[in-house]
Structure 1
Amino acid sequence: MLAMTVSAPVAPTRSKAGIQHHPFDEHLLALAAGTLPVGIRLVTLTHLELCRSCRDRVAMLEALGGVVLEDQPPAPMRDDALEKAFAAIDALDQEAPRPLKVAGPPPLPAGAVWPKALSHCSATRWRWLGPGMRWSRVSVPESPDANVFLLRIGAGKYLPQHTHEGVELTQVIYGHFHDGRELFGPGDFDMADGDVHHQPVVQDGSECICIAAVEGRLSFDGFIARWFGSLVGM
């Protein structure tokens, strides 16, 4: 099973000290430069909605990028560049508008807010993944292949131990979990890669809801966990 009962919490619940875990500066710089993959970008933007310090950091990086761009020598353009730009604009004007069908998020507990960054995305109903554990697939219109999902895990339950074949981003929007390294609470952001081998455990007292994006796959330790993970694209 993917979710099991823990006999005792692995760490004490932290005090209300605000957001403790943030993206690295290199990650925020990639966001400001527009080079992050779509799923990774959306989860990062979700963090920015909750974290003023990171919003301010990105604004500063964007301003610095503008200064650097102004100092660069002009780049030569093709003779037909302007003509092609106008042709692309005309093509957009001729396209029939497509109504945006957005399915609302699955029901969330009081205090959990659906991120504005995902307001144009659709999400499935909560689906059973294991005892005390549910998930919801998030579909991103501009990037159908983006692997973004919600996890809703009950108090005292945990994911199996795993590492990562790529990058996993997790943004907490409700509750707390401890993964053997740190304690994460509402607003906290975590990035894990192949150097991280962990087991997120939801703390006693409340369920935990996270938004996650995965580039690559998670590598679970057990056969059954790997099989279940493959069903949801983890």
Structure 2
Amino acid sequence: MTIQHHPDDDLLLAHAAGRLAGGPAVLIASHVELCAHCQRRTTELETIGGALLEELSPEALAPEALARTLAAIDAAPVADAVVSKRARQAPRRRPALPDGVAWPRALQHCSATPWRWLGPGMRWSRVTLPQDAAANVFLLRIGAGKQLPEHTHSDCELTQVLCGTFHDGRALFGPGDFDEADRSFHHQPTVQPGGDCICLASVSGRVLFKGVIARTLGALVGM
């Protein structure tokens, strides 16, 4: 199945420039590593950015700029670097994926909880990013024919499909597809026949579910 849905240029450019927070950065990286179109587009944006930098007039650094930079390096806590190295080297806890479904390389230093019950035919797993402990990233595994409750978003939700397909009333999303939803969208993703749909998601703000039970479950999950 051909990838049909991609991040927009603003997201790709922000990712290339290193301006994204940990959660969105992992989602974009997970998509780009699978998508030849976005790999080419990212290269084009990086080339344009480099050309624009070359056209800028040189600016003289303050006389003490180098001294301040070296002092900041010397003052950096060594303990944090040691903990970070240990975190990268620690064994990764990850829930099982279906045969033939690979973990995104962007998650190679991340861990995830075992699958947890969310509802009939629905499970979820919390993903921990060592570089951004506050990131709200999780996996959703929804069975064929099941649907999430109708909802919108207080801010933004990024979704990368790892396997399976779903339709949310706007479009059909399959393996490799990327979706960005904000408060202007009210949707109800429904998994299509053929097997479970597993998605990686990053949420900024809250998922605003319709219905008391759905809101309660969402709050327990941290959506």
The 8 Å contact of residues 106 and 126 in structure 1, kept in 2 or not, is answered as yes
The answer to which structure has the higher strand fraction is 2
Report sequence identity in percent. 57
| Residue-by-residue CA offset, 1:150-189 (whole Å, 9 max, x unaligned) | 0011111110000111001110001111111111100000
TM-score, length basis structure 1: 0.88
Q: CA offsets, 1:109-148, max 9 Å, x none?
A: 0121111111111111111111111100011112111100
Is the contact between residue 132 and residue 154 of structure 1 (CA under 8 Å) also seen in structure 2?
yes
Residues paired across the two proteins, number: 218
Question: How is 1:115-154 mapped onto 2 (pairs within 5 angstroms)?
Answer: 115-154=104-143
Measure how far apart 1:215 and its partner are.
0.6
* Structure 1 unaligned blocks of 5 or more: 1-15
- Comparing both chains, which one has the higher relative contact order based on Cα–Cα distances under 8 Å and sequence gaps of 6 or more? 1
Counterpart of 2:204 in structure 1 is: 215
Cross-structure match for 1:38: 22
TM-superposed deviation, 1:38: 1.6
How far off its partner does 1:220 sit? 0.6
Q: Distance in 1 between matches of 2:183 and 2:140?
A: 21
Please give the residue correspondences for 1:61-140 in structure 2 after superposition, counting only pairs within 5 Å. Answer: 61-91=45-75, 95=79, 97-98=82-83, 99-100=86-87, 101-140=90-129
Cα distance between partner residues in 2 of 1:58 and 1:102: 32
1:87 offset after TM fit, Å?
2.9
4+ residue segments displaced more than 4 Å: 91-96
Structure 2 CA distance, aligned partners of 1:108 and 1:146? 22
Structure number having the greater helix percentage: 2
Deviation at residue 63 of structure 1 after TM alignment: 1.3
Aligned to 1:3: none
Match of 2:11 in 1: 27
**Quick check: 178-187 or 70-79, which moved more?**
70-79
Task: Give the distance between the partners of 1:93 and 1:218, measured in 2 at CA.
Answer: 36
> RMSD value over aligned CA atoms?
1.6
In 2, the alpha carbon distance for the partners of 1:231 and 1:76 equals 53
